[in-house]
Amino acid sequence: MLLGLIVFGIAGMVWLLVVGGAAFLAEYQGAEYKCSVEGPYVVRAFPSEVGPVSGGFTLWPLGRECEWPTEREGETVVARGDYWAGTVALIALGVTSVAGLGLGIAAAVGRSPR
């Protein structure tokens, strides 16, 4: 039982490290800079001379999202990266980790002397 808790605890820590690393990479050197240089880009959007590009970290899908100005005044288009495989894998890892820890704790409490 203790080994199971350790394994699920390590899985949870890996999940936190990967999500934290993705957030760091999305925001490193500034999200606006990363959006201008690396994207994700949108076909309908104008270059950044028309208006400021804004961006940030998003959990769904895991990665960076960029908000680009369009030719219409005040209208923007949001572009998100295509990171669905990593997002689904991390959700499965997180759910498995939380469920395993919950089951392990419930089993440990059920075996405790009263």
The pLDDT tens digits for 62-101 are 889 999 887 777 788 888 888 888 889 888 888 888 888 8
> Which SS3 state, helix, strand or coil, does residue 11 take?
helix
**pTM of this prediction exceeds 0.85:** no
Q: Name the domain count of the chain.
A: 1
Neighbour-count burial of 26, counting CB atoms closer than 10 A to its CB (0-12 exposed, 13-18 middle, 19+ buried): buried
Tell me the pLDDT tens digit for each residue of 35-58: 888 888 887 766 655 568 889 999
Comparing 96 with 1, the larger pLDDT belongs to 96
Whether the CB-CB separation of 101 and 9 falls below 8 Å is answered with: yes
Domain residues for the domain of 58 are 2-111
Whether the CB-CB separation of 36 and 53 falls below 8 Å is answered with: yes
Confidence band of 1 (pLDDT split at 50, 70, 90): low
